[in-house]
Chains A and B, each alone.
Chain A
Amino acid sequence: MASWRRRPVFIAGIGMSNWGFYPETQCSDYASRAILAALQDAGMFWPEVQAAYCGTVYQGTGAGHRVIREVGLTGIPIVNVENACSSSSAALRLAFQQVAAGIHDVVLAFGIERNPRGPIASTAFDPWELEAGFNFQPGNYALEVRKYMEEVGATEEDISRVTVKNRRNASLTDFARFQTPVTLEEVLTSRMVAPPLRLLHCAPLADGASVAVVCSESKLASPGRAVRIAASALTSAIHGEEYVPGGIVGSVRYPSDTNLVRLSAQQAYGASGYGPEDVDVVQAYDTVSAAELWDLEDLGFCGVGEAPGLLREGVFDLTGKLPVNTDGGLMGRGHPMGATGLGQVCELVRQLRGEAGPRQVAKARVGLAHAMGAGPNSSVTILAR
């Protein structure tokens, strides 16, 4: 770790749009309103913000500047951050580092997305891989899901129960894209997308914005509602590991005994002083339902192959020992790529403040969020009250 003394860093306020589809609306409209909501939540005004980081995948050059133009023009540095589906987690990490290092006292981190209509040429794969059809992410995930199911003996019912839980949580979440629960039967009979994955095993896209006002202790208007950023880790691929959605195929001769998710979790636990046993609530990366299961294992909450059984027992339910994806996760809330990571963080802040309403987890003090994306990259954020 770095040798400099880090200052404690806090999230003073959060703001979000509802997550859905807004074909008639500009991204800058709902994102700028979310920034104002976050400032109000923090008890701050725009001139106090000294720098801003905007996470986005598809909004293009100057996207964050365009949003902030609707809020105020104060000459601050604004940087647009693209790191695939954890872009806003990476934006939060940069804001965290600026405050921790004492460079700034108040920094805005936000994530925005409005899904482009029509074909999107992915830059995360080689051009010939696009021509070969290797960029179909539900298919790439399906390759991982089949390996996981065969390795640990997980069934179709096991991976479908993740969707049922997350859609149930989403039905208690007013900003979620999906407001209705689904039954196990509905998941198991939904359209096949890429076997073994069906439509209701795959997270739906969404438009949305998410914001966090990050600051030093001295800037907190209401310290009682502040949540501390205990750690923010970011990793990329390790030679030998296999993660097909991230475009990497494993080594036969030198398979890795760890992976980028485990590495990011270890770094976050190490930096925060917390371990998995201290975490009260988790926002996992359920871009496909089965991914939540191996995610919980890679994040150290249980052993390999144990997540399906624990899910069946209700451990990951809102009333369970370790509630996971309390707002419905990507599966229920929707997946506005650049806004997803900070959306997870916003939900943790609500939970740790005790402001999560009908889905409030009892006595939540420490929360962990995990987002990852093409590259591949993996972000783990740990928050504490």
Chain B
Amino acid sequence: MSGSERESRRSPVREGLWTVPADGEPRLLGHRCRVCGEVFFPRRVTGTCSRCYSQRLDEVQLGPLGRIATFTAVMQPPAGGRYRGSVPFCYGIVELDDGVRVKGHIAAAPDRLRTGMRVKLSIDELGRGEADDVVEIYRFHPTGE
């Protein structure tokens, strides 16, 4: 395998968290309950709504726009030694316009962030995987609006 091929290998931090449709704008993959309307991210493993217990869940694409509900910055590597990214990093809860709250990384310095700020989804490099592959993750960028 040549070096350039190795660099081009990219893998998601977990399969099935997002998709990139024809318009090129990444979307998160969730479930919406056909009975009560509750929205889930990630998709429910059991295919069961944890609010009304129906099993009629439709797969939906979520995003790309939302607002920061809360945020922080992590100044030291998280315990456990499994974290693949670099520090410091910002993350928080983003409320997507589709009506679901999502925990996710935020691409900005913490002193420039405010709650209520508009953000947009993208797929970015988190770090390197065990096979030196590029591990990707969904991340929110302030839109400047």
A and B: real partners?
yes
A228-246 residues with Cβ-Cβ distance < 8 A to B are 239-240, 242, 244
Chain B nearest CB from A243 CB (Å) reads 11
Contact partner, B74, options A139, A150, A254, Cβ 8 Å: A139
Complex Cα–Cα for A190 and B51 (A): 42
Collect the chain B residues with CB atoms within 8 Å of residue A132's CB.
Answer: 13, 83-85, 91, 105, 126, 137
Complex Cα–Cα for A131 and B13 (A): 7
Given A119-B81, A134-B91, A134-B103, residue A251 in contact with residue B135 (CB < 8 A): no
Given A133-B89, A192-B75, residue A252 in contact with residue B95 (CB < 8 A): yes
In this complex, what residue of A is CB-closest to B40? A251
Q: Which of B37, B74, B100, B110 has the most CB of A within 10 A?
A: B74
In this complex, what residue of A is CB-closest to B69? A147
Chain A nearest CB from B25 CB (Å) reads 21
Tell me if B21 is interfacial: C-beta within 8 Å of chain A: no
In this complex, what residue of A is CB-closest to B129? A131
Collect the chain B residues with CB atoms within 8 Å of residue A242's CB.
Answer: 93, 101
Tell me if A130 is interfacial: C-beta within 8 Å of chain B: yes
Chain B nearest CB from A330 CB (Å) reads 17
Contact check, B39 vs A253: say whether CB atoms are below 8 A apart. yes
Chain A 251-286, CB-CB to B under 8 Å as 1, else 0, gives 111100000000000000000000000000000000
Collect the chain B residues with CB atoms within 8 Å of residue A249's CB.
Answer: 93, 101-103
Interface-located stretch among A120-128, A311-319, A363-371, A372-380: A120-128
Given A134-B91, A244-B93, A249-B93, residue A254 in contact with residue B82 (CB < 8 A): no
Chain B 70-82, CB-CB to A under 8 Å as 1, else 0, gives 1111111111111
Collect the chain B residues with CB atoms within 8 Å of residue A244's CB.
Answer: 93, 103
Collect the chain A residues with CB atoms within 8 Å of residue B13's CB.
Answer: 128, 131-132
Tell me if A146 is interfacial: C-beta within 8 Å of chain B: yes
Tell me if B55 is interfacial: C-beta within 8 Å of chain A: no
Tell me if A153 is interfacial: C-beta within 8 Å of chain B: no
Contact partner, B126, options A131, A139, A144, A239, Cβ 8 Å: A131
Given A128-B13, A132-B105, residue A254 in contact with residue B83 (CB < 8 A): no
Complex Cα–Cα for A123 and B75 (A): 23
Which range holds the interface residue count of chain A? 35 or more
Contact check, B82 vs A195: say whether CB atoms are below 8 A apart. no
Collect the chain A residues with CB atoms within 8 Å of residue B102's CB.
Answer: 249
Tell me if A45 is interfacial: C-beta within 8 Å of chain B: no
Collect the chain B residues with CB atoms within 8 Å of residue A144's CB.
Answer: 70
Collect the chain B residues with CB atoms within 8 Å of residue A143's CB.
Answer: 70-72, 92-93
Tell me if A250 is interfacial: C-beta within 8 Å of chain B: yes
Contact check, B82 vs A194: say whether CB atoms are below 8 A apart. no
Tell me if A381 is interfacial: C-beta within 8 Å of chain B: no
Contact check, A252 vs B103: say whether CB atoms are below 8 A apart. no
Contact check, A130 vs B72: say whether CB atoms are below 8 A apart. no
Contact check, A133 vs B85: say whether CB atoms are below 8 A apart. yes
In this complex, what residue of B is CB-closest to A128? B14
Tell me if B38 is interfacial: C-beta within 8 Å of chain A: yes
Given A150-B115, A195-B73, A239-B50, residue A135 in contact with residue B78 (CB < 8 A): yes
Contact check, A139 vs B91: say whether CB atoms are below 8 A apart. yes
Complex Cα–Cα for A177 and B14 (A): 41
Q: Which of A122, A142, A147, A197 has the most CB of B within 10 A?
A: A142
Collect the chain A residues with CB atoms within 8 Å of residue B51's CB.
Answer: 239-240, 251, 254
Complex Cα–Cα for A147 and B70 (A): 6
Contact partner, A130, options B17, B71, B83, Cβ 8 Å: B83
Chain A 131-161, CB-CB to B under 8 Å as 1, else 0, gives 1111110010011101100100000000000
Q: Which of A132, A133, A142, A197 has the most CB of B within 10 A?
A: A132
28 contacts between A and B (CB under 8 A): A119-B80, A121-B82, A122-B79, A128-B13, A128-B17, A131-B126, A132-B13, A132-B84, A132-B85, A133-B83, A133-B85, A135-B80, A136-B79, A139-B73, A139-B78, A139-B91, A142-B72, A146-B72, A147-B69, A193-B75, A239-B51, A240-B51, A249-B101, A249-B102, A249-B103, A252-B101, A253-B37, A253-B38
6 other contacts beyond A132-B83, A253-B38, with CB at 8 A cut-off?
A130-B78, A131-B126, A133-B85, A134-B103, A135-B82, A144-B70
